[in-house]
Amino acid sequence: MKSDDIRRNLATEQYLLNHVSFDEPLILFYIQKPCVIVGRNQNVLSEVDMNYATEQGITITRRLSGGGAVYDDLGNLSFSFVVDADSQSFGDFKLFTKPIIKALHFLGATGAEVSGRNDLLIDGKKFSGNAMYTKNKKMYAHGTLMLDVNIEEANRVLTVSQKKLESKGTKSVRSRVTNLRPYLSAEYQSLTIEEFRDQLLLYLFNAKTLAEIISHEYHLTPQDDEAIDQLVKDIYANEDWIFGEEPKFTIQKEERFKGGTIEAKISVDKGKIVALTIYGDYFGQKKTEEIEALLVGCGYNQKSLALALKNVSIEEYFKNISKTDFIGLLIG
């Protein structure tokens, strides 16, 4: 796919699954700008350092399938198989990753193997995570292939330093990861991510040139594009979907400022603050109960908090503590 936006790529998967009939499996490959994709049942805020993601312009979204959070960038190649579903194939990751494993062996990464529930490993290190989703007798199985991912950046954005977080969300299991490039044969060591994709396509279709594959391509119509754009708007770029699916959790924050220490106990359900208690040794002219009441019902994200506090003079509640510092304390 031509898009480098994870939100549109996931929307395209969903659209093809629900609206396109096909006689043979669809294979999608896509490459996207830095992003984090959390699983369907995960708590975004326990997986992602949101402050860092915002500072670095890393896109955050949620997928329909389960599994753990993954970081993608332009050094990663994602793949997806869209197929007819049956009760036997759902959850059988070996079935769907077998062609990918064979292709990687062909390219020289002969140690690549399926391990555990849904990971692909080489030398005991993970280079691919996989997930599945099914609906209306169709399903997609999708995964990642780390060719040249910035692993340091991945570890940074997926490392959360929040204190005392209690959540029912499914947490990702951190494991040792690696890129595939060092394991490829010498003739493939200098492949760009696009050339890596093309080599996989040639192997999967048993073709010598990409021209042989073109006749198998599905071309999106203007109507398809319009429907996919709407899915992006309604789901993958929609904060109600990304954060509103959060399982209920309670978090306790504490920070020492020039004006004193503030502690906050925050309960969040479906991405919104449902209870907030603020206490500490700060000084203020007004009662902080007013701030608590104002923020209950507010979305638990920087944009919503900033909007709710737009016309509030925080210094009247917390002397020598800025609005930026206060919001930073709450969402950390």
Helix (H, G, I), strand (E, B) or coil at 132: strand
What pTM was computed for the model?
0.77
The CATH number given to whatever domain includes residue 179 is 3.30.930.10
**Same domain for 300 and 172:** no
Q: Which helix (H) or strand (E) holds 105?
A: helix 93-106
The one-letter amino acid at 204: L
**Same domain for 236 and 293:** no
Tokens representing 194? Answer: 């696009």
**Same domain for 230 and 206:** yes
**Same domain for 181 and 96:** yes
**Same domain for 238 and 286:** no
**Same domain for 291 and 221:** no
Q: Which helix (H) or strand (E) holds 211?
A: helix 211-214
**Same domain for 238 and 253:** no
In sequence order, what DSSP letters do the residues of 239-303 get, joined into one string? HHHHTTTPPPEEEEEEEEETTEEEEEEEEEETTEEEEEEEEES---SS-THHHHHHHTTSBSSHH
**Same domain for 261 and 303:** yes
Q: Count Cα neighbours of 260 within 13 Å in the Cβ-side half-sphere.
A: 13
Domain residue limits at 274: 249-331
**182 in a domain, yes or no?**
yes
Tokens representing 130? Answer: 């996989």
Model pLDDT, residue 160:
55
**Same domain for 286 and 190:** no
Q: Is 26 exposed, middle or buried (0-12, 13-18, 19+ CB in 10 A)?
A: middle
One pLDDT digit (tens) per residue for the chain, 332 residues:
689 999 999 999 999 988 888 777 889 999 999 999 998 878 787 788 888 898 899 999 999 888 888 999 999 999 998 887 764 566 577 778 899 999 999 999 999 998 866 789 999 899 998 888 888 788 888 999 999 999 999 999 997 544 434 444 545 545 688 999 999 999 999 999 999 999 999 999 999 999 988 888 888 999 999 999 999 999 999 988 888 766 678 888 888 888 888 989 999 888 889 999 998 888 888 888 999 999 999 988 888 899 999 999 998 888 888 999 999 899 87
Model pLDDT, residue 1:
66
**79 in a domain, yes or no?**
yes
Among 209, 242, 275, residue at a domain's last position = 242
**Same domain for 294 and 147:** no
Model pLDDT, residue 82:
86
**271 in a domain, yes or no?**
yes
Buried b (16+ CB within 10 A) or exposed e, 271-284: bbbeebebebebeb
**1 in a domain, yes or no?**
no
Model pLDDT, residue 161:
43
**126 in a domain, yes or no?**
yes
Model pLDDT, residue 89:
65
Q: Which of 171, 164, 167, 172 is nearest to 269 (CA)?
A: 167
**Same domain for 161 and 259:** no
**129 in a domain, yes or no?**
yes
Question: What is the spatial distance between Cα 133 and Cα 260, in angstroms, rounded to a whole number?
Answer: 49
Among 223, 242, 261, residue at a domain's last position = 242
Q: What is the dihedral of CA 55, 131, 218, 105, to 10 degrees?
A: 100
**Same domain for 273 and 222:** no
The CATH number given to whatever domain includes residue 307 is 3.30.390.50
Tokens representing 68? Answer: 């753990």
Tally of domains within the chain:
2
**216 in a domain, yes or no?**
yes
- Asked whether the beta carbons of 148 and 193 are under 8 A apart, the reply is yes
Among 180, 213, 242, residue at a domain's last position = 242
